[in-house]
Amino acid sequence: MPFRNLRQLTDATEGKTWISSYRKAVAATATVAGQWYDYSYAGGNPIANYYAASPLVSSVLEADKGIIVPSVPAGSKQFLHRWMAMSAAASATSTTNQNQQMYMLDYLLYYPFVDMDAAGEDQTMAQTQVLPRYTDGVGVQMMVVAQSGTVGGGRFTITYTDTTDTQRTTTSMFCGAAAAAGSLVNAVLATGGLTPFVPLAAGVRGVKSVQSVNFSVANGGLCCVVLVKPLVDSWIREEARRTTSGTIESFGDAMEVEIPRTRAGMVEIQNGAFLGILGRGAAGSLASSVLVGTVETVWG
Amino acid sequence: MGYSSLDDLVNQISTNGKFGRIDYNKTTAVAGVAGTWTDLGTATGSVPASTYAGTSLTYVPTDDTWSEGAVWHGGNVSTATKHFLNAGASIFAAAGAPWILMCVDQVGYVPITGADVTGTGARTITMTALDSGARWPNGVGLRAYFSTEVAPTAGGPNLTAMTYTNQAGTAGKSIGVTVGFAATPVTGMVPHSGNAATRYAPFLPLAVGDYGIRDLEAFTLSTGTAYTGSGQLVLHLVKPLWSIPIPASGIYSERDFVNQLPSLPNIPDAACLKFLVFQTGATTSASPLIVSADYGWN
């Protein structure tokens, strides 16, 4: 049963809690300034998620391959209590991973290996899996993750089913410049848009499934359309690093979210959730940076 | 009893003198491994290095008088209750940042030596189950983790089975997953942490719905590659109390426990305070780590 007041939450923290640490090391290939990056794609703990499944067939991710949180018994609900993150710089002189906006997501359903070279083709999805959580689609967003390096400059539309079971097609979206695998395709500081998620039509409350993707202009490479539920966002202000010459200086910041003290409401984490993180390298490339932190949950 | 208000907290500290301070320092024993947790018990400093003495597979309870490394926090205050008010920590190291420091109350540990490290059969632990009189009654909130007291020569087995009695007294509960251990865990390392599949860190998972451990029953290290050499492992039973990020080398990070929610982590009578640290990079050997904390009681 969820919490009715702060006392019940406090009582639960005497045992009904969980803490996991994570460490995700971004590959050495440069990412683009202003671009969002899917940390689930990076190696470390949890292990890298490459969205490996049959092309264009809906698939789900296993909870224990994301940031691990427990399942709770029927009748109980689990909530995010604390989220902490720090971003270690790639080197003593790297500063490009500072000022990093972060999202924590529950990854729900994905459609892998969309060919971004197949200009003009409707790439139709097969629906062997449906949303495992948030099944009404409310609040569910789409993001497009590069599964290989891209050339850039493409344009595409996605046809999807919304929460009212109405089929809709997005506006024609621009892709950014050449991007590294793991980057979000349509999320650079360019014509393509400023958000990590695919813009939905006015009044649409979420997405239930994806029917097809059509690249009107080739973008090069492969991508995956991922349905996600954004849970919470925050900001890492400064990279963690230490100079090695001259007057040796240390820098670093820890991003901390504590619910309900620093955020109103309670963020539920449903059983089976695959938890992952997006980061936006506002100051430059995230290449070879390392994101670490902890996730604490509480249930009642 | 705790504090009824901030005014009460100020009064108990300033008028009645019901407060104290913990100072702790260690020097990292060996070069760390990137992405792993380390049990600082094996490092030298104040408190001294622990040897985790005892008979293999026999549980050793620990409290604030544990001669091998308990942090003194002023003795028992019951029927009052004691609480952390704040904490701070610093690590000065050429490599390894950023870090995460965690404070735990170690209720006890199980030494694992000789063939119990290198063998592949089931190991049965001798332990008397915790009851309602334990400082964490019935084991509510307790978690378990392994650490390396003496590094095995090589290997990398899997924890293919582990059973415990949960907080409700149900015996034979299984952690339910296979947990991978590092091939060559250095001294102090939590071998099931790190950058690989099937690693759980810092604590081992529990069965669905369980939120405590009354009794450590048995475990099996098999499949993978059995450890060789004369390594020594330790299985710890602890209550996590708090954690604090340390973003950069040489900068003291502080945490205020009065204003977080829920606030004021409890230090029960006889608590055996210990520290774990997570390292993003490979922490340089012989790096100094300091921790201090204020506590009060009422």
Over the stretch B64-94, which tens digit does the pLDDT of each residue have? Answer: 999 998 999 999 999 999 999 999 999 999 9
pLDDT of residue A194: 62
User: pLDDT (tens digit, 9 = 90+) per residue, A94-152?
Assistant: 889 999 999 999 999 999 999 999 999 999 999 999 999 999 999 999 999 999 999 99
| Residue partners of A189: CB distance under 8 A and separation at least 6 | A33, A34, A35
CA distances, B94 to each of A36, A290, B193 (Å): 31, 17, 22
pLDDT of residue A142: 97
Q: Between B34, B98, B261, which is nearest A86 by CB?
A: B98
The verdict on residue B256 lying in a domain is: yes
Provide, as residue numbers in chain B, all residues whose Cβ is less than 8 Å from the Cβ of A73.
208-209
Least confident of A28-42, A239-253, A285-299: A239-253
Q: Residue B202 and residue B278: Cα distance in Å, rounded? A: 9
pLDDT at A188 over 70: no
pLDDT of residue B263: 78
Number of structural domains chain A divides into: 1
Task: Count CB neighbours of A128 within 10 A.
Answer: 11
User: pLDDT (tens digit, 9 = 90+) per residue, A165-179?
Assistant: 999 999 888 898 899
- Test A294 with B141 for CB contact under 8 angstroms: no
The verdict on residue B275 lying in a domain is: yes
Q: Residue A251 and residue A94: Cα distance in Å, rounded? A: 11
The verdict on residue B10 lying in a domain is: no
Q: Between B201, B251, B278, which is nearest A252 by CB?
A: B251
Number of structural domains chain B divides into: 1
- Test B201 with A20 for CB contact under 8 angstroms: yes
- Test B247 with A242 for CB contact under 8 angstroms: no
Structure tokens at A271: 């059983």
Q: What are the φ/ψ torsions at residue A46 (nearest 5 degrees)?
A: -70, 165
B-side interface with A, Cβ within 8 Å? 34-35, 37, 94, 97-98, 100, 102, 140-141, 167, 177, 193-197, 199-203, 205-206, 208-209, 211-212, 240, 243, 245, 247-251, 253, 259-262, 278, 280-281
The verdict on residue A1 lying in a domain is: no
Average pLDDT, chain A: 92
- Between A186 and B186, the more confident residue is B186
pLDDT confidence bin for B179, thresholds 50/70/90: very high
Least confident of A37-46, B106-115, B260-269: B260-269
pLDDT at A189 over 70: no
User: pLDDT (tens digit, 9 = 90+) per residue, B215-230?
Assistant: 999 999 999 999 999 9
The verdict on residue A285 lying in a domain is: yes
The verdict on residue A234 lying in a domain is: yes
The verdict on residue B9 lying in a domain is: no
pLDDT confidence bin for A266, thresholds 50/70/90: confident
Task: Count CB neighbours of A169 within 10 A.
Answer: 13
Average pLDDT, chain B: 94
Beta strands in chain A (DSSP E): 17-25, 36-38, 43-45, 78-88, 100-115, 122-124, 141-146, 155-162, 167-169, 173-174, 207-217, 222-236, 241-242, 250-251, 255-258, 267-269, 275-281, 290-299
Q: Between B100, B212, B250, which is nearest A250 by CB?
A: B250
User: pLDDT (tens digit, 9 = 90+) per residue, A14-73?
Assistant: 788 999 999 999 999 999 888 899 999 999 999 999 999 999 999 999 998 999 999 898
* Domain range enclosing B144: 19-284+291-297
- Test A251 with B248 for CB contact under 8 angstroms: yes
Q: Between A256, A261, A292, which is nearest B261 by CB?
A: A261
Select from B291, B276, B265 the least CA-distant residue to B87: B291
pLDDT confidence bin for A200, thresholds 50/70/90: very high
Provide, as residue numbers in chain B, all residues whose Cβ is less than 8 Å from the Cβ of A88.
97-98, 280-281
The verdict on residue B77 lying in a domain is: yes
A-side interface with B, Cβ within 8 Å? 6, 9-10, 13-17, 19-21, 23, 25, 43-45, 47, 64, 68, 70-73, 76, 84, 86, 88, 238, 240-242, 244, 250-254, 256, 258, 260-261, 290, 292-294
DSSP one-letter code for A36 = E
Instruction: State mean pLDDT over A225-238.
Output: 96
The verdict on residue B185 lying in a domain is: yes
The verdict on residue A259 lying in a domain is: yes
- Test B247 with A84 for CB contact under 8 angstroms: no
* Domain range enclosing A137: 6-299
The verdict on residue A286 lying in a domain is: yes
Mutate to test the interface with A, among B177, B181, B195, B244 (most CBs of A within 10 A): B195
